[in-house]
Amino acid sequence: MALIPSQVLRVAILLSYFSILCNYKAIDMPAHQTYGGSWKFLTFIDLVIQAVFFGVCVLTDLSRLLTKGSENQEQDRQLRKLIGLRDWMMAVLAFPVGVFVVTMFWTLYLYDRDLVYPRLLDNFIPQWLNHGMHTTVLPFIIIEMRTTHHQYPSRPCGTIAVCSFAVGYVIWMCWVNHVTGVWVYPLLEQISPLAKVAFFFCLTVLINIYYVLGEILNSYIWDASKCVLDTDKAKSD
């Protein structure tokens, strides 16, 4: 039996994302006043995705609690739709985008932080908030995967959805550059147009790899859990 119920963990994680988002939006940074505001940064988009996802998780838990023991078929149908939405968001958005943001940010940060997070930002964003945006996302999403089984869509449907998100964000970045003349990330200012195309392609491939990784990890965790339960049941018999 878990030390902390998964429902309580989800509420705590949701509240932490609300706190991070509120604190981030309260910062008076020049970048927030330019075209696109916070929405041009993948980190902020990811925070919104995670907050919405865990909000859906909490709503699913509440719906399941309120309809427990009910034989109303319409309520059961609505609950299944909510669970389907939760699982779809986990598969194609929360896990691949969350893991992508954490791994890409810290890889570039350790190589040359000025490529992705210039030192000037230290004057605006405290360290705890930086970790809230770029570190805690990973353990939070792993906790969710470990505590709840998620039904993944078919591989082709999942990869199409992930590619659509990745291409959509690339187009959004290009549009922001077209309007402002400035790239969202300093790294993009330093590479040629052809290198940008190759970079965007590689990132799209990488986020799809994270999608497949999430699918494999989800299956591994819950297949292993099922084996343990079957073994325990056999021993008790």
Q: Taking the C-alpha atoms of 88, 158, 102 and 149 in order, what is their torsion angle to the nearest 10 degrees?
A: 40
Residue 61 identity (one-letter amino acid) = D
User: Span 135-145, mean pLDDT?
Assistant: 95
CA atoms within 13 A on the CB side of 42: 29
CB burial readout 90-107, b (16+ within 10 A) else e: bbbbbbbbbbbbbebbbe
User: Span 79-106, mean pLDDT?
Assistant: 95
pLDDT of residue 228: 46
Q: What is the pTM of this model?
A: 0.90
Contact 63, 86 (CB under 8 A): no
Chain mean pLDDT for the chain: 89
pLDDT of residue 30: 83
pLDDT of residue 66: 81
Range of lowest pLDDT (74-83, 194-203, 208-217)? 74-83
Residue 195 has pLDDT above 50, yes or no: yes
Residue 235 has pLDDT above 60, yes or no: no
Residue 205 has φ and ψ, to the nearest 5°, of -65, -45
Q: How far apart are CA 80 and CA 83, in angstroms?
A: 5
- For 152-173, the pLDDT digits (tens) are 999 999 999 999 999 999 999 9
User: Span 175-189, mean pLDDT?
Assistant: 93
Residue showing tokens 């659509």: 164
- For 168-178, the pLDDT digits (tens) are 999 999 999 99
- For 43-61, the pLDDT digits (tens) are 999 999 999 999 999 999 9
pLDDT of residue 3: 57
Residue 223 has pLDDT above 90, yes or no: no
Q: 47: how many CB neighbours lie within 10 A of its CB?
A: 24
pLDDT of residue 74: 79
- For 110-134, the pLDDT digits (tens) are 999 998 898 888 889 999 999 999 9
In 3D space, the residue among 9, 42, 77, 18 whose CA is nearest the CA of residue 173 turns out to be 42
